[in-house]
Amino acid sequence: MLGTTIILAFREIRRHVLRSFLTTLGIIIGVAAVVTMVTLGNGATAAISSQISSLGSNLLTIRPGQGYGRGGGGPSPPPFDEADTEAIRKQVAGVLSVAAQSSTSAIAIFEAQNWTTTVTGTTNDYFAASHLQLSAGRIFNEVELGAGKSVCVIGSTVQTNLFKEGDPLAKTFRLKDISCQVIGVLETRGAAGFGPDQDDQVVMPIKTVMRRLTGNRDVRAFQVAVDPAYDTKAVSAAITALLRERRKIASGDDDDFNIFDSKQLSDTLSGTTKTLTALLGAVAAVSLIVGGIGIMNIMLVSVTERTREIGIRLAVGAVQREVLMQFLVEAAALSCLGGVIGLLLALVATFALSPLMGIPFGFDVQINLLAFLFSAAIGIVFGYFPARRAASLNPIDALRHE
């Protein structure tokens, strides 16, 4: 009997191609929309998380001035000096390393190419603190740092603009008045990060920059790596106290420097990401419900339309169960087919859209399963219950139905 029922169900599907297609379409769209949205949302979340972790955690960046967006008028606050570097390194607990930075902008010239870029004078601690890796060459050695040799590690933007396709290692180019030899190249970080573009810079020993480019001993910034065992807030407070004392700021006056805590930023961003994920979940739930209502409507309309068919089957001797079985098989077949097509569509859509949106492609088994089961269940339930109502009528009433 079940075999016959299945044949009957598939016959009806084949006889009413358009109606079957429309029923399936509701499920296809519902499933595809939800799965695509949630998958892309998860991808975006993952992308943001990886950008946050690329910032380097437990990193404090200290600059003169009152932080971004403030200040403006008035005398610019004094820079730091090398004694400050030593003081922070030695007097503050929880500091792993301090990379002092002196920076200026300069035009780099190699053969016919020239490129305006930022020159960062610093020590090897800078690479570690900022999580910068080399794609070729090496970082500075003790001699180069101590003597202030004219060597440099260049960012990938500088590499492309000065050397094009050629190998920059051991090449010498002009930087303002000095010539500078390339000993290493930084790995590309991409513009997706936060803060200044770290691909567009020339990194040199701080002594070289001070002596030969800026002509002063000003330290424009520190990057302080904090021991993970310590709280960045406490370390930040200790540094603030130390610098206020060293810079002789009267109590009650504002700081004339600012400390940027990457840990704090990453905490904030993670919070935002969580909110985003929750929002996406809510939107997905709503569209799943809307899709469900669509499926419901089509199923209801189609069963109403088919009440006469149910009447005919009952009239020639079908029992209620046989009619219901046929409708159940039909609804299940259409729902599952629609679900599978919807999942495939979502797979294609996420595969095509992920690179366009610059997020990693991912396949979330859970949401695929959830969307499929939900819409299949709705399709089956709403194919079944109206049919049950119709099959419980007297055949003559079902036949008279309009």
Partner 1 sequence: MSEPLIRLRGITKTFGEGATAFQALKGIDLDVDKGDFIAVMGASGSGKSTMMNIVGCLDVATSGSFTFKGVEVGTLERDQRALLRRRYLGFVFQGFNLLSRTTALENVELPLIYRGDDAKARRSTAMGALERVGLADWSDHTPSELSGGQQQRVAIARAIVTQPQVLLADEPTGNLDSERSLEIMALMRGLNQDSGITIMMVTHEPDMAAFASTIIHFKDGLVERVEQNRPIPFRGGVGVGHVQNSGVLTAPTPGPSPEGEG
Question: What are the residues binding partner 1 (CB under 8 A)?
Answer: 1, 4, 8, 11, 15-16, 308-309, 311-322, 392, 394-397, 399
| 5 vs 117 by CB, closer to partner 1 | 5
Answer whether 180's CB lies under 8 Å from 149's CB.
no
Best CA proximity match to 140, nearest among 127, 131, 155, 129? 127
| Residue 1 beta carbon to partner 1: minimum distance, rounded to whole angstroms | 7
Residues paired with 181 in a beta bridge: 151, 172
Minimum distance of partner 1 from residue 331's CB (angstroms): 19
Which residue lies nearer to partner 1 by CB, 15 or 248?
A: 15
Q: Determine the Cα–Cα distance for residues 203 and 155; give it in Å rounded to an integer.
A: 8
The minimum distance between CB 283 and partner 1, in angstroms, equals 41
**CB burial class (10 A; 0-12, 13-18, 19+) of residue 191?**
exposed
Q: Give the shortest CB-394-to-partner 1 separation in angstroms.
A: 5
Question: What are the C-alpha distances in Å from 304 to residues 19, 286, 298?
Answer: 13, 27, 10
Run of H or E residues at 182: strand 178-186
Minimum Å gap between C-beta 312 and partner 1 is 5
Task: For partner 1, give the closer residue by CB, 8 or 331.
Answer: 8
* Spatial CA neighbour of 368 closest among 48, 33, 49, 47: 33
Tell me whether residue 94 or residue 311 sits nearer to partner 1 (CB atom). 311
Across-strand partners of 261?
Answer: 60
Return the number of the residue (14 or 248) whose C-beta is nearest partner 1.
14
Q: In whole angstroms, how close is the CB of 301 to partner 1 at the nearest point?
A: 17
**Which residue's CB is nearer to partner 1, number 113 or number 394?**
394
**Is residue 67 within 8 Å of residue 254, measured between CB atoms?**
no
The CA distance from 63 to 162, in Å, is 30
Q: Which DSSP string do the residues of 24-81 spell out, in sequence order?
A: HHHHHHHHHHHHHHHHHHHHHHHHHHHHHHHT-SSEEEEEESS-TT---SSPPPP-B-
Find the shortest distance in angstroms from Cβ 381 to partner 1.
23
Contact 249, 255 (CB under 8 A): yes
Closer residue to partner 1 in complex, CB, 260/384: 384
CB of 398 to partner 1, least distance (A): 9
Q: Name the residue nearer to partner 1 (CB basis): 361 or 385.
A: 385
